[in-house]
Structure 1
Amino acid sequence: MSASLPPCPQCQSEFTYEMGELFVCPMCAHEWSADAVAGAEATHADANSEPVIKDSVGNVLEDGDTVTVVKDLKVKGGGGGTVKVGTKVRGIRLAPGGPDGHDIDAKVPGFGQMQLKSSVVKKVL
């Protein structure tokens, strides 16, 4: 068989062959398209790279950036209160995959350590 044909995505058999626009595995009878192979490779490449986190206006955020809060945030838990619009938060740390979309760890002045969503902050340029 040709070395350029991909192995079967289900059983990893090397004995795949082309049938028109499809690839076919004679071992498990799985059929898939060349587009599916290209999409799987792109997904695999994306999985290896870090996710890009953007602020509310589309600026890319990085560890150590300074951001401002763009809307009032009610604080749940001990003491409560509200983080006001315009509050400047220095030295953020990105934490992708946080609970409920909270992807920033930061120390908010007057409130202490908190998790924020990138959709409620704007990078200070």
Structure 2
Amino acid sequence: MDAKDSNGTILVEGDSVKLIKDLKVRGSSTALKRGTLVKNIHLTSDAEEIEGRVDKTMMVLKTMFLQKV
């Protein structure tokens, strides 16, 4: 199954995406702001999640909150 962003565009390994919504980070008091760019994403075994590095921290993000750049 292919990972798709919020618009239905297929995501592939190494794509860049941006957040379309402010997201709270679990276990932290910080939040990721809308428009934050995540470069060089990695696909996971779950089609609804990707891994990406944000501010030198590897995070798992839901594809429903992402848009391919």
| TM-score, structure 2 as length reference | 0.91
Q: How far apart, CA to CA, are the structure 2 residues paired with 1:114 and 1:80?
A: 15
Partner of 1:117: 62
Partner of 1:34: none
1:44-59 equivalences in 2 (<5 Å)? 51-59=1-9
User: 1:113, CA displacement in angstroms?
Assistant: 0.7
More strand by share: 2
User: 1:52, CA displacement in angstroms?
Assistant: 0.9
- 2:44 is the alignment partner of 1:95: yes
**Segments of 4+ moved more than 2 angstroms:** none
- How much is the aligned-residue C-alpha RMSD, in angstroms? 1.5
More helix by share: 1
The aligned amino acid for 1:109 is D
| TM-score, structure 1 as length reference | 0.52
Question: Unpaired segments of 5 or more residues in structure 1?
Answer: 1-50
Partner of 1:85: 34
